Amino acid sequence: MSEREPDGAEQQSLGLAREAGIHRIALPTPFRVGRVNAYLIEDEPLTLIDAGPNSGSTLEELEAGLAALGHVVEELELIVITHQHMDHFGLAALLARRSGAGVAAIDALVPYFSDFEHEAEREDEYAAATMLRHGVPRDYARALQALSATYRSWGAPVEVGIELADGGELHLGERTLQVLRRPGHSPSDTVFYDARRRMLIAGDHLLKNISSNAIVTRPLPGEYDADPAASAHLDGRPASLLTYTSSLRATATMDVELVLPGHGPLFGETPALIAERLKMHGRRAEKIARVLADAPRTAHEIAQVLWGDVAVTQAYLTLSEVLGHLDLLTGEGRVREELDGETISFALVADSV
């Protein structure tokens, strides 16, 4: 799995980053998204943003990428993690052990990372329960839960020694990074903003070529009641897409010349990209409203109408996608939830279309 050659615009962006002492190292992952971007910041301390999944081939490529820049793992002094997904933090503990580097992440992630195995299991249970609530057949939900458990070794528990606060700052010798929490893709998405250089290290909050999934995720430990929108739902689930779109709107107001994302090419012109993404979410919500025109349906039934049977690995993402857009419609008062036994279905509110 080799990375395609960067094109002209991308070469230019990578050059801009390099001038700021930031080097992208695209690492292999076993996931559908393909490679994940780690970034080496040549500063004091020598800093790595994101670590890639916990796998031998990823470690080998990271070592080769560092070597090409004249460094070795043992020199790393700080590892910063953008969010809770395995393709971003899996190797962090191993790298920290080998180098003695401190690990930094948003404060809410500290208990999650230190007890990762247990937290991941709870997360999978939560996802399975959400699937059942929304009409996904039991064997399907079980199969996905079992599959998810086999993926877990691409993550590994890690002790976060440097807790970052939303709105705080991370000081390196040559730069100050503002720490901003931008949840929605996951509960812990954190972006790092260099205002002087107008650069944004964005994790998966904003990607150029794919719209980030707003995955319905179990809230982080200690944050169960933090999401006021969740109480609007019969199952108390977080309104991930609403959270995500409000995070996008916050980012759209920032003065950014270059985004360094968690996957794919570096890019600029964020307000236009964000406007396009928000419009797309609006269109998807309309499509779902049309599916409800003849009868109330569960989220799973809506997914079936729109996409038919999907691969079991995609079932939860698909469900999250439907639930997120239903939240947009619910927020506008156009759709309401109904409890039918154990299952939740969605109906158009009369006179609202």
Task: Give the contact letters, 102-141, x = binds to Zn ion (CB under 5 A), - = no.
Answer: ----------------------------------------
- Give 31 or 140: the residue with its C-beta nearer to Zn ion: 31
Quick check: 263 binds Zn ion (CB under 5 A)? no
CB of 186 to Zn ion, least distance (A): 6
- Give 119 or 204: the residue with its C-beta nearer to Zn ion: 204
- Give 85 or 181: the residue with its C-beta nearer to Zn ion: 85
- Give 164 or 348: the residue with its C-beta nearer to Zn ion: 164
| Token pair listed for 203 | 């994790």
Binding span for Zn ion by CB under 5 A among 127-135, 201-209, 290-298, 308-316: 201-209
Burial of 235 (0-12, 13-18, 19+ CB in 10 A): middle
- Give 85 or 300: the residue with its C-beta nearer to Zn ion: 85
CB of 3 to Zn ion, least distance (A): 19
CB of 204 to Zn ion, least distance (A): 4
Helical residues (DSSP H) of 107-196, grouped into ranges: 110-114, 116-133, 138-151
Helical residues (DSSP H) of the chain, grouped into ranges: 8-19, 56-68, 86-89, 92-99, 110-114, 116-133, 138-151, 240-252, 270-291, 299-307, 315-331
Neighbouring residues of 332: CB distance < 8 A, sequence distance ≥ 6: 352
Number of residues that bind Zn ion (CB under 5 A): 2
CB of 115 to Zn ion, least distance (A): 20
- Give 107 or 204: the residue with its C-beta nearer to Zn ion: 204
Rounded CA-CA distance 242/184 in Å is 8
Task: Give the contact letters, 17-56, x = binds to Zn ion (CB under 5 A), - = no.
Answer: ----------------------------------------
Residue type, 217: T
Residue 99 CA, chain-centre distance (Å), reads 27
Binding span for Zn ion by CB under 5 A among 20-28, 59-67, 202-210, 227-235: 202-210
Distance between start and end Cα atoms, the chain:
47
- Give 85 or 334: the residue with its C-beta nearer to Zn ion: 85
When binding is defined by CB under 5 A, the residue of 107, 119, 204, 301 that contacts Zn ion is 204
Q: Sign of the C-alpha dihedral, residues 229, 232, 234, 239?
A: negative
Binding to Zn ion, residues 73-92 (CB under 5 A): 85
**Count of other CB atoms within 10 angstroms of residue 249:** 12
Interacting residues toward Zn ion by CB under 5 A = 85, 204
